[in-house]
Amino acid sequence: MKQIDSAITIIEDTAKLLVSYPEQVRAQTATGEASATVALRCHGQDIKKLVGSGGVMHKAIRKLADRMGAMVGIDLQYERVVETGAGAIPLPSGNQRSYVARENWPQGLILSLVERTATAIFGPHRVVKLVNGNSSSVIEILLPAEMVDPQDRVELQDALDRVFHGIGRAQGRLLSVKVAETFDLEVDEQPRTADGRYVKERGR
């Protein structure tokens, strides 16, 4: 179940980057022969961040969890978000959800999570590019042609965009995600870094 353990770690790490009290995020899991369930526990003030308005964040994470499980032949169910019950000093009311840009936003940490997530939902043959603007960044995930069903690609892009936009707002950078089929796996000759990641700077 090593691959499922990796997927559960990705879910937990995603949640930690979305919330105000990451030290209180815990993934509770139950595994069977061909199935697994994961529920997140977090500080009470962070439940809304992991659920989202109308449940949009929960649905986005669940979509990614479904795909990660399917990639390894496991029925992975992402379930509820519950309060840990642990005490914490409440954040000042003005800091609850307002966006504040950060010059030193954790680019490397977020890119590492993008890399791991992209591998888990698309497989190893993908390229991740980060295009930085003055106040926002676009994460581009490039796939071999005809690798993913077009409808699945759109739905996964929407889920990734929702999740990483939320992470960006929590970490001080406006982020968006685009997924595109742009290269032929057999003839692609683009130079790559050791981990397959491109980083471009624009307008800085």
* pLDDT digit string, tens, across residues 87-133: 555 554 444 557 999 999 999 999 999 999 999 999 998 999 999 99
Q: How confident is the model at residue 181 (pLDDT cuts 50, 70, 90)?
A: confident
DSSP state at residue 20? S
Higher-confidence residue: 82 or 96?
82
Q: Could you give all domains of the chain from N- to C-terminal order, each with its CATH number? A: 2-86 (3.30.300.20), 107-201 (3.30.70)
Strand residues in the chain grouped as ranges (E): 26-31, 35-42, 75-83, 127-132, 136-144, 174-183, 197-201
Angle at 113 between CA 191 and CA 90, to 5 degrees: 150
CA distance 111 to 105: 11
Pick from 137, 153, 120, 28: nearest CA to 83: 28
Answer whether residue 178 shows pLDDT above 60. Answer: yes
The residue type of 104 is: N
Q: How many CB atoms lie within 10 A of CB 57?
A: 23
Half-sphere exposure of 5 (CA within 13 A, CB side): 2
CA distance 49 to 43: 10
Strand residues in 32-173 grouped as ranges (E): 35-42, 75-83, 127-132, 136-144
